[in-house]
Amino acid sequence: MAGSPRVGVLALQGDVREHAAMLAGLGAEVALVRRPEELAAVDGLVIPGGESSVIDKLSRTFGMQQPIRAAIAAGLPVYGTCAGLILLANEVLDGIEGQQSFGGMDVSVRRNAFGRQTESFETGLDVPVLGDEPVHATFIRAPIVERAGDGVEVLASLPDGGIVAVRQGALLGTSFHPEVDGETRFHQLFLEGVREHVAGR
């Protein structure tokens, strides 16, 4: 499709295929990103769910940590789901020893805030920025945002007030996995930001 944004999915670990399929279905040109030169060739990046500590370690092994940090600082639109949200947080409250994040979002995130995988759950969320229809959200060993800075827009919270979707500038993060539910609106919101980024260059 002519004029389609070229969006990368960080393909070090996690549910890469699900994101790639959803983005392609929404008209994006999708590239799997494992190397700095592949990152340099995309207009936006998705960091998938998986194991945040593993993605962190692999990003350093593949020489990707600093290029991703630099791209975020330069305004590259990035969407992180679950582990991806943890990796976008400036502060990870209960990371394993030595765990690092890419940062960029002025949030504090707690890993595995809801317990083990057996305590995963699904719920409906009100997300006004996406319209009136609730978002069906699946939480799998999900993180939660315990602190959001002044520049962070809270897009969705659980009934107990726990923050599960945030946006700051070109960065978007969700605790849950829209890509596993066929919920396209967060990816559409992200692609709108990518197109605005491309148009503004």
Whose CA is closest to 65, among 12, 108, 112, 17?
12
Choosing from 18, 82, 183, 187, the catalytic residue is 82
Longest dimension (CA), the chain: 46
Residue 168 makes CB contacts below 8 A (sequence gap 6+) with 104, 105, 106, 107, 149, 151, 152, 153
- The residue whose two tokens read 């504090």 is 108
CA-based torsion, 111, 50, 165, 65: positive or negative:
positive
82 is catalytic: yes
Task: In whole angstroms, give the CA distance from residue 4 to residue 185.
Answer: 17
19 is catalytic: no
Among 179, 183, 196, 197, the active-site one is 179
Phi then psi for residue 98, to 5 deg, are 85, 0
- Within 1-96, residue ranges assigned H as helices are 16-25, 36-39, 52-61, 65-73, 83-88
Catalytic option among 19, 177, 183, 187: 177
Q: Which of 1, 2, 91 is nearest to 52 (CA)?
A: 91
Active site members: 82, 177, 179
